[in-house]
A and B are shown apart, each in its own frame.
Chain A
């Protein structure tokens, strides 16, 4: 029996052994021994423990534990897969099966064990499992969610990840098309696309939003590929959902940024191309309202001279909203814009209805009555930090600005600040241009520029006026030459040619002959400079100096007249001169007549002598007559005059005439005129001659002074109740005490070129005015010459030959004085 059993088990197609109820090995078969290479079967128990893979042993031992006796009758076949080591050391998988052998009383007496080599199958299964794991890993590592769908569009399989994303059970997810899984705005599009793909069998690719478990919609790119059977029939769909929210976001961000940039560019172009501030702000409002849906915007420029809100721009708000704001004083508490303007910070009113700052205010009711709820005000500040105005966004529902709206407000207020500053600058420029034009008009000065390379000439308006040229006329040198006085044309031409060659600054005066035959004197100065493109440009000014020229001419004529009168010096000298010239021949006539009479009375009469003397008389008589004729021609002007005159005024007139002479001599003239000076009666011309004489003497006395200022003081004062005094104080060489008494003598002079009659004549003039003339040395350097004459009422009592002030002679005298 024993042999038989062993033979039997040797034939079994596997490794087999028989185990006793206590677990000890009873018998092993040949294949076992061959497989394990066991030399003997004496200790098979020990042996198989060595043969089994260490990793499998613990599980095996647990299962293979001999069952307690009472449970023997419940013993059931046992099986397990373990790895056994082959003779060559290689482990192979075996499927162990163990069946109990029951005794007569039903107890387990032995176990029959057989191990079938399942290595091939096992390894195939492992490979498959590994593939499956890899596949799952692959699927799970995909950047998206994967599901399968049947032809009805129901989700059949969904990964855990998918379930977690949607926060739904597979059953809920199955009918996604009727759930909220897809964004309602996208659903119609999605189902239509899927039906299309089902109908055509074409892959399906669409982007839409899916609702995440937390309620946030995320953008997905959803691609579905058809699953086909061997007959190429579509049996279902593999669907991959890729989250593209980030990408979508960045595209949106880019579009937003591009939109902002485009808007900014458009507005800046408007500013640059000279659109009005209103137009620019209007466009900015439209831009903001387009970029930020459901918004109304308004710009509120501030005129700080008030300060008031001026020229609000709010295209989509009704006039009933903006009109009351126009001219409104800017106060802190008037509106969010007031706070924004004063605090220079953004003011966000999320809901005007509930915001405690505005509760019950007229502002609140104003805003609410126009259906507006939220008000976001941003100050518009200049580069220097001055608040130029405010920008306001209104919404019809309460809320805070989004990140983008904040961006938008920052952007738009920045552009608005540029636009407003630009408009301020333009206004200032216009004012300054107007001022310049007015200044040019008033000063009769025009400006010009001349590009030497191109002969391009640009004139200011005043230059056109000076040249009497229509501003529409193109400017050429040809045109300019038609205006240059023919006598000055050669000099003008020479100047232009010199300027071309030398690039020197030029400064010259020439005359213009205008179409109406009038003559203008112009003074042209110009400075040559390199322009940015390297050309030589002259920039200069043209001043119409005609009036100055004319007054200079008049002044010169007056000076010549004065010189002439001064040369004559005084009526006294004039009289003396006439007397001398006439008395000489008269003297000859009388002497000859006496001689003649004596010759005729002689006995015998000396007729021949008498004839000669009579001939000389005729000659002398003619000579006297010629003298009178010559004098009459020389002194045709009224010589004697008397009028009421203000000594201050007479002195001022004279100073005006002498000023340039005094300046030339570097004399510092100071006047100290009494305000309450009574008028005097006298000959203005004569008194002015005296003053001039004293003035020129004083100037002369200081001509050599180098070590101190050449101060000259002309002073008038009331000397007594009935006299006024004029004194001229110099800082010159002073008076020599030795010669002081000679000063007023005729023919006395200290000057090499003087006649020595000035002071003598001056004194005689003053004495004829019942006055006196004297000199005193100063405490410091120099001398003071003074005269005093009676006031008008006083002098009238003493004189009969002075003409009344309103007589024609006096008027003539005044004219003479004025002509000086």
Chain B
């Protein structure tokens, strides 16, 4: 686990943006949150981020769109997708495109830790 690494959270849902960074910090990570994919792409956190926790369904640029964009730009940031759409059918597709994990909201702390472990192992 890369304690002190920057984990960025991109989600249009405010409660996620409030709660998840706090938990990540409790777990020993640095955390930043963004309300949209565009804001993340234009922030200076982009290059410092070691792991991205990314919401699937967002207005304008969706999670998968951002994933594609990052791949195109050559940013190999491990991505943990989170989604409130309780439909597991998209998970395989996302994994296939290189996502570390796709967590279905609500997810437990241990699920998150497992995913983060995977992300940093990959990293």
Contacts and interface: CB of A to CB of B under 8 A. Distances in A.
B is a partner of A: yes
Interface of A: 572, 575-576, 579-581, 583-592, 594-595, 598-599, 609, 613, 616, 619-620, 623, 746-747, 764
Contacts of B84: 579-581, 583-584, 587
B30 interface: no
A588 B16 CA distance: 5
Interface string B6-23: 000000010110111011
B15 A623 contact: yes
Interface in B1-57: 13, 15-16, 18-20, 22-23, 26-27, 57
List 6 A-B pairs, minimum CB-CB distance, nearest first. A588-B15, A579-B86, A587-B105, A594-B109, A583-B84, A586-B106
Given A580-B57, A583-B106, A588 B18 contact: yes
B23 A594 contact: yes
Contacts of B26: 594-595, 598-599
A588 B9 CA distance: 13
A506 to B, nearest CB: 53
B118 interface: no
Contacts of A613: 19, 22
A590 B108 CA distance: 7
B22 A584 contact: no
Contacts of B106: 583, 586-591
B59 to A, nearest CB: 13
Given A591-B16, A599-B26, 12 more contacts: A576-B86, A584-B16, A586-B105, A587-B13, A587-B106, A587-B107, A588-B19, A591-B20, A591-B22, A592-B19, A594-B23, A616-B15
B115 interface: no
A29 to B, nearest CB: 183
Nearest to A579: B86
B15 A595 contact: no
A572 B107 CA distance: 21
B121 interface: no
Nearest to A617: B19
A764 B112 CA distance: 29
A500 to B, nearest CB: 60
A591 B19 contact: yes
B32 to A, nearest CB: 16
15 contacts: A572-B87, A579-B85, A580-B57, A587-B15, A587-B106, A587-B107, A588-B18, A590-B107, A591-B20, A591-B106, A592-B19, A594-B26, A598-B26, A613-B22, A764-B89
B95 interface: no
B82 interface: yes
A485 B13 CA distance: 54
A7 B21 CA distance: 212
A748 to B, nearest CB: 11
Nearest to B87: A576
A583 B23 contact: no
Interface in B67-123: 82, 84-87, 89-90, 104-109, 112
A587 B81 CA distance: 13
Contacts of A586: 105-106
A587 B20 CA distance: 9
A595 B105 contact: no
Contacts of A581: 84
Contacts of B107: 587, 590
A758 to B, nearest CB: 15
Contacts of B62: 747
A747 B68 CA distance: 15
A587 B104 CA distance: 9
B105 A583 contact: yes
B52 to A, nearest CB: 17
A575 to B, nearest CB: 7
B87 A595 contact: no
A590 B62 CA distance: 24
A613 B21 CA distance: 12
Nearest to A597: B109
Contact of B22 (A585, A609, A619): A609
A586 B84 CA distance: 9
A592 B112 CA distance: 13
A762 to B, nearest CB: 14
A595 B16 CA distance: 12
B12 to A, nearest CB: 10
Given A599-B26, A747-B62, A583 B86 contact: yes
A623 B13 CA distance: 12
A620 B84 CA distance: 14
Nearest to B19: A591
A584 B105 contact: yes
Give the most central of B20, B27, B106: most A CB within 10 Å: B106
Given A584-B13, A585-B15, A590-B107, A595 B86 contact: no
Contacts of B90: 746
A576 B104 CA distance: 12
A353 B101 CA distance: 125
B57 A587 contact: no
A584 B15 contact: yes
B23 A620 contact: no
Contacts of A580: 57, 84-86
Nearest to B14: A588
Contacts of A579: 84-87
A539 to B, nearest CB: 62
Contacts of B82: 587
Contacts of B104: 583
Contacts of A588: 13, 15-16, 18-19, 106
Contacts of B109: 590-591, 594
A586 B104 CA distance: 11
Contacts of A595: 19, 22-23, 26
A620 B15 contact: yes
Contacts of B87: 572, 576, 579
A580 B109 CA distance: 19
Contacts of A587: 13, 15-16, 19, 82, 84, 105-107
Contacts of B105: 583-584, 586-587
A655 to B, nearest CB: 31
A587 B11 CA distance: 12
Contacts of A619: 15
A576 B85 contact: yes
A604 to B, nearest CB: 14
Nearest to A747: B62
Nearest to A620: B15
A442 B16 CA distance: 67
Contacts of A583: 84-86, 104-106
A437 B85 CA distance: 65
A505 to B, nearest CB: 54
A609 B112 CA distance: 21
Among B15, B86, B112, which residue has the most Cβ atoms of chain A within 10 A?
A: B15
B86 to A, nearest CB: 3
Nearest to A594: B109
A623 B16 CA distance: 13
A594 to B, nearest CB: 4
A574 to B, nearest CB: 11
Contacts of A616: 15, 18-19
Nearest to B93: A745
A22 B23 CA distance: 209
Contacts of A572: 87
B110 to A, nearest CB: 9
Contacts of A575: 86
A576 to B, nearest CB: 5
A581 B106 CA distance: 11
Nearest to B18: A616
B6 to A, nearest CB: 18
A631 to B, nearest CB: 14
A585 to B, nearest CB: 6
Contact of B23 (A584, A591, A747): A591
A475 B25 CA distance: 90
Contacts of B20: 591
Contacts of A584: 13, 15-16, 84, 105
